[in-house]
Structure 1
């Protein structure tokens, strides 16, 4: 028994049309389909919703629900905004920089490029307040991933006992935050 892949990931949105326009214009995703009903199929709860599906590439689907009868969207106030996010991979660093420039030219505030050694990332928020990351693989990614793989279980065990950051991979973010692009 083994999971094959993620079928889709679903988030709530404030406005279905605005969300589709953002992801198609800012990230060049295709709008795949929409489903709207007055009753939730799984729970049979009478509640109208709009369910959107966007092609995030590689067979990955990003979905959203607009729920007009529910209280306004919120977020877990005990979880920092940087924790919950969705990350999409782009081809390379050039593509990452092109996206950054495109987003900023369209008034989107972008954080980064951040060098994670195994990949490089930019971060921004969609119109719903969801944090989005675009990540480009580092040319030396394979070597770094091998180093991380060799210590993952030791790190997990130490963290489990101490709840302090183990130093097995402190080399990963030893580089300075990259703003020189």
Structure 2
């Protein structure tokens, strides 16, 4: 059984810029750096800088800068929409989210949202290396998790058969949850 995620690692264009950016906007502390001329696991000669950031709650976000490799073109392959592959980080409050959004936008960084997902509200933006970041604040609607739990397997089975979006949890984004509450 997995105990927890030890760390999540991505490539970055510039290690110093990444440390400073995540510190400035997301208040992540720089934990440590490891640099080698050879990859320990494969013994491949490939100098790298490996940085580790404190993502809160015992979570660690890490990046590799690879100066001998071609520049990063796109984070995901050409056939994958940029909105799919992302890192979602939880915040404590909407005030905190809106403060970060304002700081990002003040520095010319495009931010999508806030987007209401019923269970949580999110904003989305890209870091300097092109990684999509989602910041989420839970709505306090944890009672609705049981509704999703009840339909998870039927939804998955229907999707596997049809490859069309099952409608079991449509209430999360279509506004029908509010009308259900009004009827009650």
Compute the TM-score of the two structures, normalised by the length of structure 1: 0.93
Q: What is aligned with 1:33?
A: 32
Q: What is aligned with 1:178?
A: none
Q: Does 1:163 align with 2:149?
A: no
CA RMSD between the two structures: 0.9
Q: What is aligned with 1:121?
A: 122
Q: What is aligned with 1:71?
A: 70
Q: What is aligned with 1:81?
A: 82
Q: What is aligned with 2:138?
A: 137
Aligned-partner SS, 2:174 = coil
Cα displacement (A) at 1:74 = 2.6
Deviation beyond 3 Å, 4+ runs, structure 1 = none
Q: Which runs of 5+ in 2 are unaligned?
A: 176-184
Cα displacement (A) at 1:20 = 0.7
Q: Which runs of 5+ in 1 are unaligned?
A: 176-181
How many equivalent pairs are there?
173
**Which one has a larger percent helix, Structure 1 or Structure 2?**
2
Compute the TM-score of the two structures, normalised by the length of structure 2: 0.92
Aligned partners of 2:92, 2:24: CA distance in 1, in Å?
A: 18
